[in-house]
Amino acid sequence: MNSAVICNPAFKKKSGLVSDLLRSVPEDEIMRLERLGYIENGVSPNGETWKLTRKGVEYRSFMLPSRSVADGITDWILNKIVGFRVSL
């Protein structure tokens, strides 16, 4: 079980077409998130759709904590002035 799949950038929109989501996330992971109650599926004239539930939004925000202004300033100083770049 990979709980980090909810951090995928495809979930940033919080809703969309399932066909677009399948390009970034495997179908078994989508089904698992649906069973856990993090996303819900629906049907629209455009096709099958998905939407993050409130539980999914809360879990995603827990997994991706927001950055403070101080973090942004520190990163800018390290990147622009010191020339220190880190990639994880």
Model pTM score: 0.66
DSSP 26-88: -HHHHHHHHHHTSEEEEEETTEEEEEE-HHHHHHHHHHSPPPPHHHHHHHHIIIIII------
Task: Using alpha carbons, select from 46, 45, 27 the residue that is nearest to residue 10.
Answer: 27
pLDDT band with cut points at 50, 70 and 90 for residue 2: low
Q: What is the pLDDT of residue 65?
A: 75
Res. 1: pLDDT tops 60: no
| Cα separation, 6 vs 32, whole angstroms | 11
The tokens for 5 are 């799949």
pLDDT band with cut points at 50, 70 and 90 for residue 83: confident
**What is the fold of 3-82?**
Arc Repressor Mutant, subunit A (1.10.10)
Residue spans of the domains in the chain: they are 3-82
Q: What is the pLDDT of residue 86?
A: 64
Res. 54: pLDDT tops 90: yes
